[in-house]
């Protein structure tokens, strides 16, 4: 995939049984896997996620690799008057390739700022309904080696910034 090259994929928000609007992680992960792996595979049956317990997700990739994602902390702040929401999630991912005795463990933070407007306003001005900036920061873990982790001083070793826009299908 080329850097700084816009990508298009379907994304879905849905309501859980408490009536809260949440990202549909299963659907969105399926769409991202199709985009990035591009092999025409339907991954939806390989993704285990419960909308009412959104902290855990497990993905089984072709070839035997499985990825277990667990959200360990989250926060959200919404300002309805300003039409803004900020979310932050700390999560860890465990990659099991089956090829080695030790799994790869990754620790990350995903911070996203959303700004929205009405559909009528978006149609009138020709822009998206929702825009967002997302920053994903990766941190070292003890699995990367204690010395490397300590020398990183709890600072991210990689930071990715994404700009997103959402429009109704």
- Assess whether 40 and 120 both reside in one domain: no
pLDDT tens, position by position, 85-118: 999 999 999 999 887 777 889 999 999 999 999 9
Domain shared by 26 and 100, yes or no: no
Tens-digit pLDDT profile for residues 135-158: 999 999 888 888 888 898 889 999
Domain that holds residue 38: 10-62
Question: Do residue 87 and residue 51 come from a single domain?
Answer: no
Q: What are phi and psi of 94, to 5 degrees?
A: -115, 120
**Domains of the chain: total:** 2
Instruction: Report helix, strand and coil shares of the chain as percent, to nearest 5.
Output: 20, 45, 35
pLDDT of residue 2: 64
Confirm whether 107 is domain-assigned: yes
The answer on 107 and 37 residing in a single domain is no
In the prediction, which pLDDT does 103 show?
A: 86
pTM, to two decimals: 0.86
Residue 3 within any structural domain of the chain:
no
Tokens in use for 32? 């991202």
Contacts with 38 (C-beta within 8 Å, 6 or more apart), sequence order? none
5 domain-assigned: no
Domain check: are 33 and 86 in the same one?
Answer: no
Assess whether 34 and 93 both reside in one domain.
no
Burial 123-143 (b: 16+ CB within 10 A, else e): eeeeebbbbbeeebbebbbee
Q: Check whether residue 82 and residue 22 sit in a common domain.
A: no
Percent of the chain with pLDDT over 70: 98
Q: What angle do CA 121, 123, 129 make, to 5 degrees?
A: 65
- Whether residue 23 is predicted with pLDDT greater than 60 in this model: the reply is yes
Mean pLDDT of 17-23: 89
What phi, psi does 144 have (nearest 5°)? -85, -5
Over the stretch 37-84, which tens digit does the pLDDT of each residue have? Answer: 876 778 889 999 999 888 999 999 988 899 999 999 999 999 999 999
Residues 91 and 130 in one domain: yes
Q: Domain boundary at 24, 40, 62, which?
A: 62
């Amino acid at each position: 995939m080329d850097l700084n090259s816009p990508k298009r994929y379907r994304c879905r928000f849905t309501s859980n049984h408490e009536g809260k609007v949440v990202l549909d992680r299963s659907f969105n992960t399926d769409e991202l896997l199709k985009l990035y792996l591009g092999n025409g595979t339907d991954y939806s049956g390989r993704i285990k996620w419960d909308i009412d317990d959104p902290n855990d997700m497990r993905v089984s990739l072709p070839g035997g690799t499985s990825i277990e994602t667990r959200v360990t902390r989250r926060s959200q702040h919404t300002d309805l008057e300003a039409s803004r929401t900020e979310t932050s999630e700390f999560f860890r991912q465990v990659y099991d390739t089956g090829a080695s005795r030790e799994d790869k463990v990754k620790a990350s933070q995903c911070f996203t700022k959303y700004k929205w407007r009405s559909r009528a306003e978006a149609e009138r001005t020709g822009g998206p309904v929702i825009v967002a900036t997302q920053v994903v920061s990766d941190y070292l873990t003890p699995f990367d080696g204690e010395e490397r982790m300590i020398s990183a001083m709890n600072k991210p070793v990689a930071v990715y910034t994404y700009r997103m826009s959402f429009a109704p299908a």
